[in-house]
Amino acid sequence: MTTILSEILDRKREVVARLRADRASRDFRDRALTLRANTTPHRLLRALESNSRGVNIIAEFKRRSPSAGTIRNDLAATDVATRYERGGACAISILTDEQYFSGSILDLGAIRATTSLPLLRKDFIIDEIQIYEAAVVGADAVLLIAAALDDAALVKLRATAEDKLGLDALVEVHTSQELRRAVSTGARLIGVNNRDLLTFRTSLETSERLIAEAPRDRITISESGLQSPKSLRHLRSLGFRGFLIGEALMRATDPETALRDLIAAVEDRQAVITKSE
């Protein structure tokens, strides 16, 4: 049965084949290794660990998606990144898939020149060359989707990112089986996607269920369908250390204000002020 995910992966294999055939990409590995040798490693992991009591929001730049269609196309990637940083994001996720999300690796490069925040390349990564490309352009982390990779590929790609380059690999899961696979293949950062990549339906029950099964020595991030401060407070109380939020912020009139207000609401600052008065 053809699903949205299988269709995307078929197209992504074509993209990777073209990338590998391009002369300009043949030195990506050497360039990435040289660049990362002089770059602080594991910046996303450190950002999440250093703010263990605060609200860690990985704010996402995303123009469109297969499920939502066009989300927003009137703001430049650099403008959104600047607003996210001012709004209090701990990191920025950038959709770089072109065909289905209208993203680009150029967006990541432009944002890298704009902010010092850790950057996550969010794409359907199936080959090492995509990780080397991400490092060359300035990413600090890459997304690895368990549903798109077998165990051997998960181990290989995570080792390339984390061990060879000092990047972080956020391993995304949606089911108990995928969570067990992520843990067994050594994932330290685990993203629980509330959106089923086969149907693109979203349910926060996925995060509620899987956080109970996740080892406490792993850092877990809840992704997709996150909007209300109440939901974030609830998931945080269950053990989530961060939240990846894109569509809700991208649709906001001012992403900076929306992010700042969301963080304040989750931290319940008004209640603190009221009590102190």
Q: Which CATH number belongs to the domain containing residue 108 in this structure?
A: 3.20.20.70
Model confidence pLDDT, tens digit, residues 57-77: 999 999 998 888 999 989 999
3-state secondary structure of 130: helix
Centre a 10 Å sphere on the Cβ of residue 253 and count the other Cβ atoms it contains.
6
Model confidence pLDDT, tens digit, residues 134-144: 999 999 999 99
Non-local (6+) Cβ contacts of 20 within 8 A are: 127, 129
CA atoms within 13 A on the CB side of 25: 18
Angle between the N-to-C axes of helices 128-137 and 28-36, in degrees from 0 to 180, rounded to the nearest 10: 50
- Total of domains in the chain: 1
Cβ pair 184, 165 in contact under 8 A:
no
Band (1; pLDDT cuts 50, 70, 90): low
The H or E element containing residue 32 is helix 28-36
The H or E element containing residue 65 is strand 64-65
What DSSP letter does each residue of 222-272 carry, written as one string? EESS---HHHHHHHHHHT--EEEE-HHHHHSSSHHHHHHHHHHHHHTHHHH
Q: Pick from 92, 55, 61, 74: which is nearest to 260 by CA?
A: 55
Q: Is the pLDDT of residue 188 over 80?
A: yes
Q: Is the pLDDT of residue 270 over 60?
A: no
CA 62 vs CA 92, 144, 270: distances in Å: 11, 18, 31
Considering the entire predicted model, what is its pTM? 0.94
Q: Is the pLDDT of residue 88 over 50?
A: yes
Q: Is the pLDDT of residue 55 over 60?
A: yes
Phi-psi region of 224 (alpha: psi -120 to 50; beta: other; left: phi over 0): left
Q: Averaged over 85-102, what is the pLDDT?
A: 97
Mean of per-residue pLDDT scores for the chain: 93
Q: Pick from 9, 44, 32: which is nearest to 221 by CA?
A: 44
Cβ pair 194, 207 in contact under 8 A:
yes
Non-local (6+) Cβ contacts of 172 within 8 A are: 143, 144, 145, 146, 147, 190, 191, 192, 193, 223
Q: What is the DSSP letter of 204?
A: T
Q: Is the pLDDT of residue 156 over 60?
A: yes
The span from the CA of 84 to the CA of 59, in Å, is 7
Percent of the chain with pLDDT over 70: 96
Domain range for 49 is 4-276
Q: Is the pLDDT of residue 277 over 60?
A: no
Q: What residues act catalytically? A: 60, 62, 122, 172, 193, 223-224
